[in-house]
Amino acid sequence: MSKNFTWPVRVYFEDTDAGGVVYYANYLRYLERARSEWLRAMGFDQRKLMDETGLGFAVRAVAAEYLRPARLDDELRVTCGIKMLGRAQVVFEQTVERGGETLLTATVRLACMDLARGKAAAVPTDIYEQFAKLT
């Protein structure tokens, strides 16, 4: 597994505003999909993680810089890489690109959560070790 992961996204009509430009909040969906698919590509099933351990990842903070607009029918690439790894949190650096042009940069902080208690918990050892190889 490489240090950075890329996930393709096509812009659909439902993603845009009346002017055909991607609505700003939909970029967060693109970032989420890329992170989820990266976990899946590493062999980690989030549903299984929740069912078997009661743990899940929740976004704690997002800082996004919107540089250029994406438009209806654009083919985008969403990238993610780990910027920092802690015992109970992971910070990702992510981008949304179109044809080599960066449209958005973001830093996303995730907390590993004990879902029943609503409190932070340690990242499971197998996931932590895999992430540590990518930092």
In DSSP terms, 2 is beta-bridged to none
In DSSP terms, 5 is beta-bridged to 80
Give the residue numbers annotated as catalytic, written as ranges.
Answer: 17
What is the C-alpha to C-alpha distance for residues 81 and 109, in angstroms, rounded to an integer? Answer: 12
What six digits make up the tokens of 88?
């109970």
Q: What are phi and psi of 52, to 5 degrees?
A: -90, -30
Which residue is associated with the tokens 């996004």?
A: 64
